[in-house]
Amino acid sequence: MARTERVLVRLTTQEKAKLQAYADKLGVSMSEIIQDWIKALPEPQKDSFTVG
């Protein structure tokens, strides 16, 4: 599935450095680290999230 959505996240300098160091250690991009984290989240249950 093509990724077409974009999310802007503001990080402190220390948070970005931590994310970059982890991504570098694994040899992947920072985006891939975040995408993998999102994939690991549980699927939303019906009526457990409010859209609006």
d(CA 23, CA 42): 23
**Residue 46 reports pLDDT greater than 90:** no
Q: b or e along 2-27 (b: 16 or more beta carbons within 10 Å of the residue's beta carbon)?
A: eeeeeeeeeeeeeeeeebeeebeeee
**What are 1-25's pLDDT values in tens digits?**
899 999 999 999 999 999 999 999 9
**Residue 42 reports pLDDT greater than 90:** yes
Overall pTM > 0.85: no
